[in-house]
Amino acid sequence: MKTPNFLRELINSNEYADKNSDTYLRTTKYMNLLYPGQVEFDGTGKMTEPPYDMTYEQFLEAQKKLDEDIENAIQEAEEEAEEEKGHSVDYSEFIETEETIDVRVLMPLGYIDNKKLVVYTLNIPEESHPDNQKLKKIWVWHSESDEFICDDCAGLDGEIFENTDEIPELPVHPNCRCWVEKIKFDEGGNIIRRSHFAGNRSADKDTHPDENNQNTQEANNMSVEKNNDRIRTESIHKTMAEEGGYIDDPNRIDQPTNSGITQPTLNKYNQIHPEAEFPDNVRELTGQQAEQIYTELYYNDRNIGNINNPRIAHAIFDMGVMSNYSNVGRMVQNTINETQGITLAVDGDIGKQTIQALNNIPANQVDRFMEVLIENRIEYLKGLAGWDRYGRGWEARTQRY
């Protein structure tokens, strides 16, 4: 992995020579974070450099630490500003990407994926408080110029808008890949920040928030979206690790599978997305392709991302991969009624009412809900024909929820 610019600057600074300095401590922290010291051994027992920079778990931990750094920087800057100005200041809109770091990541299924760690910086212009500085903003429409682009999207590409009310709603159509870039200028006309604009929705046009609230909402939306992506990826990779690679066991139903994806599921995905050009045979499915199928057909279609608690969300997602989803739904609904003292309809449909009931579980009752759900799940699995042969593995997987 190439040494990031920000780390190179820290190493070359005069302060780094002082082992008691904050710069030395900060540099050491980043070096340990980005170079976790993975080694491999060849057939002779000689240590060799592995073909990857870090494992997936280390990648997630590294990005988490980098995110925490910018959050701490914002908090410190806002506390300092509040002491000086006597009122609160929101500096979250001044987050910028300082650089991205290309890393080779060893994924749970054994393949190596090229990913990017994102290093953020807080770029606060002088006189940045809203009372003291008025920033000019424009919004620029970007369309993906390929064979799938529609005439409406092509016509909007590069169009500039001076206020959000003029921006068409996104997405323009179900498969739309257009996006809007928000650009801020200082009083001299210099660009000081570029960011992704989430896009107008009908709710946005109804509320007409003021400029400060809009900026805050955009920052919050980006943070929530990023966190949701991380939670989804972690959940899918946990399930893929449980499922293993290609399996063709005549004693199990729905065989063969690859990363848990069955042949009928692959056929369904290929019918919906022929443009993806996934293989016809499930044996040839790659880990990345399996992850995409899980994302679209299992996670997104079942609205798993609307479940607030990541532990509950992963358990329901994973059970839905293993079993008929209606059976999972009835089990979840019965567990809600049992632990929360309500009478939710037990129809097997994990829809809005069931998800709302899950999100209403108090934080101090989540452990109890999960204990009962795990118990109910194991009882269900014990009733299946394959329990004698596979029960030990099923139970261990369930206990990991």
Does residue 130 lie in a domain region?
Answer: no
**DSSP designation for 171:** -
In this structure, the answer to whether residues 97 and 159 fall within a common structural domain is no
Instruction: Yes or no: say if 397 and 242 are a contact pair by the CB < 8 Å rule.
Output: yes
Buried/exposed 120-137: b ≥16 CB within 10 Å, e otherwise: bebebeeebeeeeeebeb
At residue 98, the pLDDT reads: 80
In this structure, the answer to whether residues 80 and 163 fall within a common structural domain is no
At residue 210, the pLDDT reads: 53
Two tokens, residue 101: 């770091």
Which of 119, 150, 168 is the last residue in one of the domains?
A: 119
Find the domain containing 19 and state its range: 5-119
pTM: 0.49
In this structure, the answer to whether residues 294 and 339 fall within a common structural domain is yes
CA distances from 379 to 56, 291, 384, 398 (A): 33, 29, 9, 11
Closest alpha carbon to 122 in 170, 181, 182, 70: 70
Q: Which CATH number goes with the domain that contains 248? A: 1.20.141.10
In this structure, the answer to whether residues 54 and 142 fall within a common structural domain is no
Which of 151, 180, 208 is the last residue in one of the domains?
A: 208
Number of domains in the chain: 3
Q: What is the C-alpha separation between 380 and 386, in angstroms, rounded? A: 12
Contacts of 174 by beta carbon, 8 Å cutoff, 6+ apart: none
Q: How many CB atoms neighbour CB 215 within 10 A?
A: 20
Express each pLDDT in 276-294 by its tens digit.
899 999 999 988 899 999 9
pLDDT band, residue 120 (cuts 50/70/90): confident
Express each pLDDT in 214-270 by its tens digit.
554 554 455 456 567 778 888 888 888 888 778 887 777 777 888 889 999 999 999
Q: Is the dihedral of CA 165, 170, 173, 178 positive or negative?
A: positive
In this structure, the answer to whether residues 359 and 289 fall within a common structural domain is yes
Does residue 74 lie in a domain region?
Answer: yes
